[in-house]
Each structure stands twice: as structure tokens, then as C-alpha cells.
Structure 1
Amino acid sequence: MASTVISSSSASTKALLSHRKASVTTLQSHERTFSSSLFGTRPGITRRAITTTTTTTTTRPVIRRGARHSGVRFSVCSALPSALLFDCDGVLVDTEKDGHRISFNDTFAERELGVTWDVDLYGELLKIGGGKERMTAYFNKTGWPEKAPKSEEERKEFIASLHKRKTELFMVLIEKKLLPLRPGVAKLIDQALGKGVNVAVCSTSNEKAVSAIVSCLLGPERAEKIKIFAGDVVPRKKPDPAIYTLAASTLGVEPSRCVVVEDSAIGLAAAKAAGMKCIVTKSGYTADEDFLNADAVFDCIGDPPEERFDLAFCGSLLEKQYVS
């Protein structure tokens, strides 16, 4: 379990320096059990006592990368991120299984391609960032439909036309609000905007689809304040860090002062490669992925009374350090 490591006060530090002695601080926390998750009942999560050692050589505890925080909320730091960057699919909305997958299949049916992506197959295809890239990789492996053109250039246009139609069908689902926001998303965005923190959405999905989600589900007032980086705005998709690097550059902030909320291993890899902190909120397709390098892992953001973390916790990742 994860627990916070408390730094020595300045007075204590001076005393330690003058006497050249090591001090041992034991942080004991009452066990707290949290239950319920977005996908059903989960085992109780407890918060346990830990012991840390601070020596005269430093006033900061030793960091241990990859600590996991499942269901335990910490709000211990008043620092704020310069930017809060969200992935879209699986983070803002759990769109993949009953949104994008359905829209892909409807498009394939309209074009009479004889292709259907079932739930398990689509989960594997999600390891490929980007819808056009996903279709291309699938057809390259299984064979192109008879109705597909033969030349590489014409196939690119064919894929682009399929993706355009898929996006139109997906936007209808969003506009009808058939896919709701995940718990805590609006709350965390409101906290960030209220404190003047930059908020952006960074996604491999089509820019129109991402804009539709932000506008329809978060509302026009929030949408006006949220910057969107999506689709082909960068030449390389996640796990390449290009989209997060672009976001930091455009917003004029240091990557090290950014906190990313992702749901997938490829998104986590992109955020960490960009030099940013990353919180993972697992989604339906990513619950079993490896998030060892994440700064924190939760089942969702959560709304009170089931809140998992808030803006203060995001800020604490920039200043405080955790051990598991």
C-alpha cells in the first residue's frame, strides 16, 4: 500500500545538521478500507504504517518510482501543476467497447467489407495508437477486403474515408449522450480551471470526435477553456511522446510541471517519455495492463463520497514522494 513520506521541518533540519545525527520518523496511519469500484466490488484497500529515515545529507526522502495508489486519497500539498493533461478515450469517457468499436463495425457493414471486430479482438487492436493506424495494421495482417484498392496511396485514401465515416457515426453516439463521463472527470477539471491550471485533452483519436466529447459532455463553458491536441496534429501517435511534448510547448509550461491522466500502457509510456507525472485511471480494456511506471494507479477519479483523488493530490506528485 502507499503512504506519504513526510519531509523534516526546517528547524529539525538545522538541529540534525548541527548534531550530525540521523533521525528516524515513523508515520502511522489508521487503517482505512475502501470498497466499490467502477467495475464492481473490489478487495478492501488498507493504509498501513511505514518507517522512513532522513539523514543529514538531505532534507528530502528517497524517491521510489512506480508507487501505486489504489483507492487511497491523499491531499497533502498545496502546490499546483502547471497543466493537467487528459487522454480522452477511456479517461474522460469509457468509449472503446461500446463506442469506437461499434462505430468501426457499423462502418464496415455499410461498406460491405465482411469485417467485424469482436470485444476481445478490439482489445488487442487498442495496443495500436490511432484508428487509421489500427485499421491499416489489421488489414495488413489479415488481408485487405476485396473492395479495397490495390495501390498503397489509394489504400491510404480508402482508410481515411472509412475513418471519416466511423467518426461521424461515433459523434452521433456522443451527441445523444449515450456514453457518459467517467466519475470525477468534471469535478477534477472544475478544480483545475478554478485554480487557473491549464487543462488540455491529448488523444490519438480524431480531433472532431474529441471535440464532440469535450463540448457535448463537459459543456460549452468548460470546452472554451480546454485546449485539444488530437488526431494527426503530430506525425507519431502514442506511445511516442510527441503529443504531450507539443501540449507542453504550446501551453508554455515545463513538462516536469505537468500531470497526465491516462488509462493505457501506451499512454503512460508517452507521458513518461515526455518527462511528465502520470496518474492511471484503469478502464474496461486496460484493467490488466502493466502500469509499473505510473506515479499513481486508481480505478477512476471518483466523485464524493467515492472520490479517489483530487487536484491537491495531482499537485502533491510534483513535490511529495511515495513508497509502497
Structure 2
Amino acid sequence: MRTVPALIFDCDGVLADTERDGHLPAFNRTFAEFGLPARWSDAEYARRVKVGGGKERMKTLLTPEFVAEAGLPDDPAALDAEVAKWHRRKTEIYTGIIASGAIRLRPGVRRVAEEAADAGWVLAVASTSAEPSVRGVLDLAVGKALALRFGVFAGDIVAHKKPAPDIYELTVSSLGLGPADAVVVEDSRNGMLAALAAGLGCAVTTSTYTAEEDFTGASLVVSSLGDPPPDETVTEVRADPLGLRPEPYVRLADLAALLGEGGVRGRS
């Protein structure tokens, strides 16, 4: 019996351009509400975003000097509880931003997801973001009806976040598939490394903060999945080691060619 393949999307930067216009203002509004002496600039957030997970990003603030200035507890458990409280509020602010429709969707996501659904593929999202945030973006990106077809694997359901392979290993095993039966669409080096370490084929659609990252190991690197007219967005191919030539936009057949290509090119 032929195994049904799976198409797995990362969320932030892949489904929508969420980092600059969603997560960054949500973090800063949270810091202001809690009276914390922190405001991240765009340039600073470009560095922080390389840390997977919202709570983990917040914890990068917790130098001894910051803890003292903010009047935070020294006890690690109490400090973790404070960070969890900040993160819950940040998620509320972020989901409100998503619901407002202020986030730009990435080209081609809905088109390719619909093509995969019509072809009988399994659909999933695997992300280190909080599940409510992921579901809000997914509904916006593909529509509520198609979103119901997706498995959502998000947040603190694994011990280690990207670039560790945990979230992708959990996703594939939960779907009852092997690594050769799934292809991932990512936007960051950390996400790509996670996919490759899990043995999955990986396409990269670069986003606001990731365009200059090293994507050696990906089987395809493009500016976006692209779209035909009337919403025409032409795909710029940045790396194409398999010779797929997916211009003017990426189709499901191009992603299907990545099945079984994981965990090889990126390891040296």
C-alpha cells in the first residue's frame, strides 16, 4: 500500500510574515505592561529571533543586572513563573494582532495547501510558538475550513526546540509516517536544521529576518512559494540543488520531489 505523503509547514515566517509586525510589537507591549526595562528594536529582535520559543526569547533578558533592575525574584522557580505570566499575556496580545488582519500572508501558502489537500496529502504545522498563536495564523493563512484538515504541533510539547529535531520527530511519528514520507517548508536556518536532523526533505522560503542565513542542506531555497495572476508573486530561486526550476512559482510537484531528500545534504 502506498503511503500518503505529508506537507508540514513551520508557522512564523512561513504561513505569514509574523515576526516584525506581530511578535515584536507583542513582546514590547508586554514589557511595557509589566513595567520591565526592555524594548527591543528591530535590529535587536533580528538577533533575538534566532532563539526558538517565546519564553526562551524572554529569558535572554534575565541577566543579573536586569533581574535586579526589574525587581524580579532570584529564586529560579519564581522567576520561571514570572516569565510564564509574561508569555501568557504576550500570546494574548499577539493573537489580537493576528485577529486584526494586520499581518501579511506569505504568497503561495494557501494555493499549495489546497493543492496538497486535493491530492490527498496529510497537512500539518510544526512550530515552537504557542498553540493559540499558531492556530490563529493558520486560520488566517489558509482559511478556517482548510485549517481543520491540519494537524497542529506547537509550543511546549517537546523537550527541546528548534534547531533540535524534536518537534519534527514528534509530528512525523504522530502522523504515522516515516521521514521519507514528509516534506517541510521552513524559513530559518534553525528550522531547516531541525527538519534535516529529523531526516525530512526541506524547502526554505526566506523571510524578513532570515534572507541572509546559511541554508546549506536545504533541497530548495526560494524567496516565496509564489502565486500566479491575479495575485502574481514570482518566485526567486536562491538555491536549487535538485534542478527543479520552480519558476514562476512553486507547485506541489516541486515539493513532492523533496520527499526522501532529508538529512543528507546538510550533514558534513
TM-score range, shorter chain: 0.7 to 0.9
Matches within 5 A, 1:180-259: 180-259=104-183
Aligned match of 1:84: 7
Aligned to 1:267, the other structure's residue is in SS state helix
Larger-gyration structure (1/2): 1
Q: Is the 8 A contact 2:26 2:93 kept in 1?
A: yes
Matches within 5 A, 1:125-136: 125-136=48-59
Q: Is the 8 A contact 2:200 2:259 kept in 1?
A: no
Q: 1:316 aligns with which of 244, 251, 257?
A: 257
Q: 1:319 to 1:110 in 2, by over 3 A?
A: closer
Aligned match of 1:298: 222
Alpha-carbon separation, structure 1, partners of 2:138 and 2:191: 19
* Percent of matched pairs sharing the same residue: 43
Q: 1:80 to 1:259 in 2, by over 3 A?
A: farther
Alpha-carbon separation, structure 2, partners of 1:172 and 1:115: 22
Q: 1:138 aligns with which of 61, 85, 88?
A: 61
Which string of whole-angstrom CA distances, capped at 9 and with x for unpartnered residues, describes residues 78-123 of structure 1?
x997111100000001111111010000000111112101111111
Aligned match of 2:72: 148
TM-score normalised according to structure 2 size: 0.86
Aligned to 1:268, the other structure's residue is in SS state helix
Aligned match of 1:272: 196
Aligned match of 1:95: 18
Aligned match of 1:281: 205
Q: Is the 8 A contact 2:7 2:116 kept in 1?
A: yes
Whichever residue aligns with residue 88 of structure 1, its letter is C
Q: Is the 8 A contact 1:262 1:279 kept in 2?
A: yes
Alpha-carbon separation, structure 2, partners of 1:276 and 1:217: 23
Task: Detail structure 1 runs of 4+ shifted over 4 Å in the superposition.
Answer: none
Whichever residue aligns with residue 14 of structure 2, its letter is V
Aligned match of 1:35: none
Aligned match of 1:69: none
Q: 1:304 to 1:132 in 2, by over 3 A?
A: same
Alpha-carbon separation, structure 1, partners of 2:260 and 2:169: 21
Whichever residue aligns with residue 118 of structure 1, its letter is S
Q: Is the 8 A contact 2:37 2:70 kept in 1?
A: no
Q: Is the 8 A contact 1:177 1:217 kept in 2?
A: no
Alpha-carbon separation, structure 2, partners of 1:269 and 1:168: 29
Q: 1:81 to 1:314 in 2, by over 3 A?
A: farther
Alpha-carbon separation, structure 2, partners of 1:280 and 1:95: 16
TM-score normalised according to structure 1 size: 0.72
Q: RMSD across aligned C-alpha pairs, in angstroms?
A: 1.9
Q: 2:102 aligns with which of 178, 182, 185?
A: 178
Which residues of structure 1 form unaligned runs of 5+? Answer: 1-78
Alpha-carbon separation, structure 2, partners of 1:266 and 1:225: 26
Which string of whole-angstrom CA distances, capped at 9 and with x for unpartnered residues, describes residues 165-187 of structure 1?
01100011111111031110100
Q: Is the 8 A contact 1:81 1:318 kept in 2?
A: no
1:217 Cα deviation after fit: 3.6
